[in-house]
Chains A and B, each alone.
Chain A
Amino acid sequence: MAAMALLAASFSRAQDAPAASLPMPQTVEDVLHGMSDQADVIFLGEVVAVRAHEDKGVASGYVEVEFHIGRAIRGVSGDTYTLREWAGLWSGNVRRYQLGERLLMLLHAPGPSGLSSPVDGTDGAIPIRGSGAAVGGNAAAASSSSPVVDLRWLGAKLPQSASFLISPVPPLTQLGVAQQAAEGSTPNLLATGDDTSSRASVPTQQASADAVVKLLASWQKAAADVR
């Protein structure tokens, strides 16, 4: 119950979002639902290996990302899943996944080439925080707290207003050069009420992994019932 309450709270951000002319997601749950609808493979897993195969060049190559599956949700069975991505997505060999990283993966089904990728770019590789079992250790010894799914990037997909405030033109106050050029003086320049610090980030949006799994499973069942 507590987990569901957290989920509801974290999904409530966009209820005040303005209506769009076309159907737009209004909650993080809507966003997740939309991504779920596009995904053929869904699981919670941990990256255990990354293997590049680029002998014939980046554009001709692929990168295998092997996951240890913690929770299989859709289109996958067994203990492991190997995602095969086009090496071109790894421009400059930027590592898209880190060893040991735990993710909720929403993937397209492999195409005729066997290649696939997360839904909505890397937004479909959603971080899981907390309560991981140790690699090579005894999972039972790890914390019993439920892990959470970090949904902040999904929150960034919610609509927001694009009407911007008209800021006042700075006053034309004549100041002498010497007055302005006083090196080392540190005027309180930010006392303009205009704090553009990025400390004010998108609010933290996390939900229990168990609750998210239940949602994904229920959507899958609903879709199956429709079929």
Chain B
Amino acid sequence: MFVEALSCVRGGPTLRRGLALRGSLAPAIFWLLSAATALAGGPRWVTGPSYFSTSGVPVVWYTHQPHYFTDSGDLSAYVDHAAADAIVNAAAGVWNVPTSSLTLSYGGSLDEDVSGTDVYLGSNGLILPSDVQSSNYQAKQIAVIYDRDGSVTDLLLGNGASDPSGCRQNAVTESVDSIVPAGYIEHALLILNGRCTGPAPEQQMQMKYELMRAFGRVLGLGWSQVNDNVFTGSPAPTYYQALNWPIMHPIDIICGPYTYQCLPQPFTLRPDDLSALATLYFIGRNQAQPGQTDTLLRAQEISGRLAFPTGQGMQGVNVVARRWHQFWGVPEAWQSVSSVSGFLFKGSNGNPVTGALAVTPETSGSSAASYEGYYDLRRIPMLDGTWQNVQIDTEPVNPLYTGTYAVGPYRVNQVEPSGSDVPQLATVQTSYSVGVKNLSTDNPAATCDTGLDGTEVSPAAIAADGWSTGTLCAYGHTAWFGLDVQAHHSFTIEVAAVDEQGFATTLKAMPVIGIWNAVDAPGTLPSVAAATAFNGAATGLPTSAATAALILPTGCGCSPPTR
């Protein structure tokens, strides 16, 4: 789905409009900067209108003690029921940490040995055993299915999906299948592909690793970016960077047949994982129950806004913390904790080109402007000593972290921040301290003037030579222009997203174009043509082409643009 992500939000790009005009009819053109959103990078989902009844709150489990229930059968010929349960218990147990108020625990067995014969297509959709269904959430919150022969995986994902060659992706299939408007997760499914286990112990360890990461998603955690050079390989990562590479990294590195072997201590949560967990399941001061500790005991929280000089929040920028020991001359050479700016801010509900989208958790998030650019480093653990400094940096989110790998509020594409990083220091942070640190970047886009943009009912005129540039700012901003073209002629519209230096880029705005006839009713979808972002031949360029003779009605060529 699209968010009306705007140029200031996406780094203050300008649009260079090249119009090849041949005609005198009067279509209206619209473009905007768009990026679809998934509210991840900390929480996987955030509440907001209109699906949820609250706003700007991470979606969490309805209970702090969700139970998982395991299939009553074996996982495979190599992993019997007891051994499978041991794998599940170990993977879930990784998430049971004293600084979190949530405890995952074993609840018992499912009523059946779920197989392809228990899951099938009925007249009203898939039929699952009754105790696996989300309607049974009060009794069984998380159903763990042992798919011994891969038949359930094949049924859900297609023939051959359970093949062992695809185990990095299909060893565990995860689904949170009930999120209610109150902002709570009620139920989830985990399907373990038995064909991914085998005689080698490493196969079971890999299953445990995949399941551990799936449990993180089920708990409501999004993917995260910390020490991303471990993934990119550049610069060459150090051991401590790998040790602080979050378990919830979006994409595994592959160093051999088993990816859990590619990182040190693969079954230990990193500080960033603990911080994300604290964002969802926080234990306040003096609130810890037996076996728990206050989340900020020997830790601190730093939050604030990353903003443009105009005051508008800068969204989709990874904010990372490095600890600086009180007796050290430099900070640690690795990042500890991250938060993506704007992670609580609302997504979109479509735009005039795509139309409104269905109301879903993905379109949620707070509409409060204060959340645009807001970040929260929820739990930064302390080094030894009585206090520490924290260096805060900003960086772009890796452009590969989109779609199902999305980190932060943007989903279809990531954005290059406006301006460059300025290391900023939060000093003398002690146990339990909660600080505010507002951030800025060096030389960001400083102005935003959309005064020359038209509106749907009163589009602006295109310059006579067909070229114009402008800056799109503010959430939901759209720009409207009208031009006259003759019938039986064709024309091409090109809109290029450019960066602050005027270079075309795919890492700023994602402009989309719609073309209407002047006589079209306001609020309708484009009747002439529509183009998605970056479908043109050149970088950063969507192209929309139309043939007037085929589409534009004759007889209205001289009418003024009405939208």
Q: How far is the CB of A24 from chain B (nearest CB, A)?
A: 7
Contact A159–B361 (Cβ < 8 Å)? no
Q: Which residues of B contact A95 (CB under 8 A)?
A: 1, 36, 357, 362, 411
> How many residues on A have C-beta within 8 angstroms of the other chain's C-beta atoms?
102
Tell me which residues across on chain B come within 8 A of A98, comparing CB atoms. 1-2, 36, 412, 532
Asked whether A159 and B327 contact (CB < 8 A) given A100-B530, A138-B545, A164-B238, the answer is no
**Given contacts A110-B158, A116-B157, A142 and B425 within 8 Å (CB-CB):** no
- Tell whether A135 is near chain B: CB-to-CB under 8 Å: yes
Of B156, B396, B512, which one neighbours A199 at CB under 8 angstroms? B396
**Residue contact B255 to A160, C-beta cutoff 8 Å:** yes
Q: A134–B543 contact, CB under 8 A?
A: yes
Contact between chains at A60 and B128 (CB < 8 Å) = yes
Q: Per-residue 0/1 for B385-420: is the Cβ within 8 Å of any A Cβ (1 yes, 0 no)? A: 000010101011111100111000001100000000
Q: Does A94 contact B (CB under 8 A)?
A: yes
Question: Which residues 150-203 of B have a CB within 8 angstroms of A?
Answer: 154-161, 163, 165-166, 168-170, 173-179, 189
A117 to B157, Cβ gap below 8 A? yes
Cβ of B38 under 8 Å from chain A: yes
Give chain A residues whose Cβ lies under 8 Å from the Cβ of B327.
172-175
CB pairs A–B below 8 angstroms (12 shown)? A89-B156, A92-B44, A93-B360, A95-B411, A116-B157, A117-B156, A137-B551, A162-B261, A162-B262, A168-B333, A170-B333, A173-B328
Across-interface contacts of A88 in B (CB, < 8 A): 156, 173, 175, 177, 189
**Given A91-B175, A138-B545: A194 in contact with B159 (beta carbons within 8 A):** no
Asked if B532 and A100 sit within 8 Å, CB to CB, the answer is yes
Q: Tell me whether B158 and A171 are in contact (CB under 8 A).
A: no
| Closest A residue to B422 using CB positions | A186
A165 pairs with B239, CB closer than 8 A:
yes
Interface status of B24 (Cβ within 8 A of chain A):
no
In the A-B complex, list the 10 residue pairs whose CB atoms are closest, starting with the nearest.
A108-B158, A132-B535, A93-B360, A173-B329, A88-B175, A100-B532, A116-B158, A141-B545, A162-B255, A145-B537
CB distance from B521 to the nearest CB of A (A): 17
A96 close to chain B: CB less than 8 A: yes
Of residues 155 through 187 on chain A, the ones whose CB sits less than 8 Å from some CB of chain B are 156-162, 164-168, 170-175, 177, 180-183, 185-187
Residues from chain B with a CB closer than 8 A to the CB of A138 are: 490, 545-547, 550
| Closest chain B CB from A63 CB (angstroms) | 11
**Chain B contacts for A111, CB-based, 8 A:** 154-159, 161
Q: Does B536 lie at the interface of the complex (its beta carbon under 8 Å from any beta carbon of A)?
A: yes
Task: Choose the segment among B105-113, B228-236, B299-307, B449-457 that binds chain A (4+ C-beta atoms closer than 8 Å).
Answer: B228-236
Tell which of A24, A114, A116 has the most Cβ of chain B within 10 Å: A116
Cα separation A60 to B120 with both chains bound (whole Å): 10
- In the complex, how many angstroms separate the beta carbon of B527 from the nearest chain A beta carbon? 8
Within 8 A of A (CB), among B91-127: 116, 120-121, 124-127
**Distance between Cα atoms of A146 and B235 in the complex (Å):** 34
Q: How many residues of B contact A (CB 8 A)?
A: 132
A142-B545, A162-B263, A196-B241 known; A57 and B333 CB under 8 Å?
A: no
CB distance from B509 to the nearest CB of A (A): 16
Docked complex Cα distance between A160 and B232 (Å)? 10
Task: Determine whether B135 belongs to the interface, using a CB cutoff of 8 Å to chain A.
Answer: yes
Task: Answer whether residue A129 sits at the interface, using C-beta atoms and an 8 A cutoff.
Answer: yes
B114 CB to nearest chain A CB (Å): 12
Cβ of B532: which chain A residues have Cβ within 8 Å of it? 98-102, 132
Q: Which residues of A contact B10 (CB under 8 A)?
A: none
A156 and B158 contact, CB distance less than 8 A:
no
Indicate if the CB atoms of A198 and B254 lie closer than 8 Å: no
- Chain A: minimal CB distance from B5 (Å): 14
Query: Which of A3-11, A64-72, A120-128 makes up part of the contact surface?
Result: A120-128
A56 lies within 8 A of chain B by Cβ: yes
Kindly list chain B residues whose C-beta atoms are within 8 Å of the C-beta of A43: none
